[in-house]
Amino acid sequence: MPFSSACSRRKALKSAALAMGGLMLRHLPSARAETTPSRFLPVEDLFRAAIAKGQTPGAVAAVGTEGQTVWKGVFGNRALVPHPEPMTWQTLFDMASLTKVLITAPAIMQLYEQGQLKLDDPVCRYLPAFAANGKQAVTIRQLLTHYSGLPPDVDLSTPWSGKETAVSLALNATLQHPPGEQFVYSDINFITLGLIVEKLSGLPLDEYATRAILSPLGLKRTFFRPDPVLGSAIAPTQFDDTHTMLRGVVHDPTTRRMGGVAGHAGLFSCADDMITYAQALLAKRAGKPSPFPLRTETLVLMSTPQQPKGKQDLRGLGWDIATHYSTPRGTVFPPTSFGHTGFTGTSLWLVPETESFVLILTNRVHPDGKGNIIALRRDVATAAALALQRT
- CA atoms of 79 and 233, how far apart (whole Å): 10
Backbone angles phi, psi at 80, to 5 degrees: -115, -30
Residue 95: strand, helix, or coil: coil
Residue 281: strand, helix, or coil: helix
Residue 59: strand, helix, or coil: strand
Long-range contacts: 130-139, Cβ < 8 Å, 24+? 130/171, 130/192, 132/171, 132/172, 133/172, 133/173, 133/174, 133/175, 134/174, 134/175, 135/173, 135/175, 135/179, 137/179, 138/175, 138/179, 139/179
Q: Are 77 and 87 in contact (CB under 8 A)?
A: yes
Q: Residue 36's pLDDT is what?
A: 78
Give per-residue pLDDT as tens, 91-126: 999 999 999 999 999 999 999 999 999 999 999 999
Question: What domains does the chain contain, in order, with CATH numbers?
Answer: 3-92+262-389 (3.40.710.10), 102-207 (1.20.58)
In this prediction the pTM is: 0.92
Q: Are 139 and 122 in contact (CB under 8 A)?
A: yes
Q: Residue 3's pLDDT is what?
A: 60
Give, for all 391 residues of the chain, the pLDDT tens digit: 556 555 554 444 333 333 333 333 333 333 333 567 899 999 999 999 999 999 999 999 999 999 999 999 999 999 999 999 999 999 999 999 999 999 999 999 999 999 999 999 999 999 999 999 999 999 999 999 999 999 999 999 999 999 999 999 999 999 999 999 999 999 999 999 999 999 999 999 999 999 999 999 999 999 999 999 999 999 999 999 999 999 999 999 999 999 999 999 999 999 999 999 999 999 999 999 999 999 999 999 999 999 999 999 999 999 999 999 999 999 999 999 999 999 999 999 999 999 999 999 999 999 999 999 999 999 999 999 999 999 7
Q: Residue 21's pLDDT is what?
A: 35
Q: Report which DSSP code applies to 184.
A: -
Q: Are 43 and 384 in contact (CB under 8 A)?
A: yes
Q: Residue 25's pLDDT is what?
A: 35
* Residue 348: strand pairing partners: 340, 359
Q: Residue 18's pLDDT is what?
A: 33
Give per-residue pLDDT as tens, 50-95: 999 999 999 999 999 999 999 999 999 999 999 999 999 999 999 9
Please give the order of strands across the beta sheet that includes 346-351.
85-86, 68-79, 58-65, 356-361, 346-351, 338-342, 320-322, 314-315
Q: Residue 20's pLDDT is what?
A: 33
